[in-house]
Structure 1
Amino acid sequence: MSTPVTRHLDTGELRARLASDSPPRLLDVRSPAEFEAAHIPGAYNVPLDTLREHREELTRHLDTDVVLVCRSGQRAGAAERALAEAGLPGLTVLSGGMTAWEKSGAPVNHGQERWDMERQVRLVAGSLVLVGALGSLAVPGMQLLSAFVGGGLAFAAISNTCAMGVLLSKMPWNRTPSFDPRAAVAQLADSGR
């Protein structure tokens, strides 16, 4: 049995589809804070960890006319794989994600500005490496912290996952008081086609 190939749409194609008589539903799989900062009008926010948790329920409320959106396309690809494993193959991913969407001049709803997850991961990983390297001058063996972080980053690249990103997404500054995972799933159910 062959695995369906992920379909990709560029920003121009998505804009045309959104302007059509039967626009696709947009699922933005970024953190609630990232979504609040900027999102495509009409998109639903179902963060990747929530999507994975509720994927069986979500597949009952979705059809294949869904475009998955994240910052660059990586998390949207992971969301597509998770939904395909739950029985909803053939979804579409926005190529280049919100980064490409915003660069194209497409409409965006803006809210409170926050750092995106990739930037937060770079800050934390870089800080830990720096602490490990400089700390090793005073505390023998402290360089192991840098080696541990480097190994984690290499594993993240190979496995296309990011444990640090998952942990950071659970931090208070990446949560919005109004986000409720059950409400997000219910909102999709209520908007069903």
Structure 2
Amino acid sequence: MADITPAELHQRQQAGETPTIIDVREPWEHDEARIAGAQNIPLGTLPDKLDDLDEWKNQEIIVHCKGGGRSASAKAFLTQQGFTNVRNLLGGYQAYAAEGK
């Protein structure tokens, strides 16, 4: 599945959509600033949380981190685990925050 741009995510949220968003940053990063509605599952704990995510296996999941690197790893991991519609937020939270200004 193609990745998602910050502009596209903002547009969808402004239209009232509530996509499933997973923030793979550390809890302290999530506490400092976050995308509304994002669930915090740090990259290192993602393998332990697969059962919790099973209901979303065939639904769109948007993953993000600070700049896009960790979330690219999360997308690759989830795809390997059989998730069919994982999208990485290009540029991560930094790009999303900058786009929203």
2:15 aligns to what? 20
Pick aligned residue for 2:47 from 52, 55, 72: 52
**Mapped contact 1:59–1:83 kept (Cα < 8 A):** no
State the shift of 1:14 in Å.
Answer: 0.3
CA distance in 1, matches of 2:97, 2:19: 19
Counterpart residue type for residue 60 of structure 1: D
Counterpart residue type for residue 5 of structure 2: D
| Offset from partner CA, 1:114-142 (integer Å, 9 cap, x none) | xxxxxxxxxxxxxxxxxxxxxxxxxxxxx
Counterpart residue type for residue 29 of structure 2: E
Moved over 2 A (4+): 19-23, 52-55
Q: Does 1:29 align with 2:24?
A: yes
Q: What TM-score does the superposition give when structure 1 sets the normalisation length?
A: 0.48
Q: Does 1:38 align with 2:33?
A: yes
Relative contact order, higher structure (CA 8 A, sep 6+): 2
Distance 1:31 1:94, change over 3 A: same
Q: Which has the larger radius of gyration?
A: 1
CA distance in 2, matches of 1:22, 1:41: 12
* DSSP 3-state at the match of 1:95: coil
State the shift of 1:27 in Å.
Answer: 0.4
Q: Does 1:61 align with 2:61?
A: no
Q: Does 1:9 align with 2:4?
A: yes
2:86 aligns to what? 91
Counterpart residue type for residue 81 of structure 1: A
The gaps in structure 1 that reach 5 residues or longer are 1-5, 107-193
Counterpart residue type for residue 74 of structure 2: A
Counterpart residue type for residue 100 of structure 2: G
Q: Percentage identity across aligned positions?
A: 29
Report the RMSD for the aligned CA atoms in angstroms.
1.6
CA distance in 1, matches of 2:28, 2:65: 12
| Offset from partner CA, 1:140-193 (integer Å, 9 cap, x none) | xxxxxxxxxxxxxxxxxxxxxxxxxxxxxxxxxxxxxxxxxxxxxxxxxxxxxx
**Mapped contact 1:80–1:91 kept (Cα < 8 A):** yes
The gaps in structure 2 that reach 5 residues or longer are none
**Mapped contact 1:59–1:88 kept (Cα < 8 A):** no
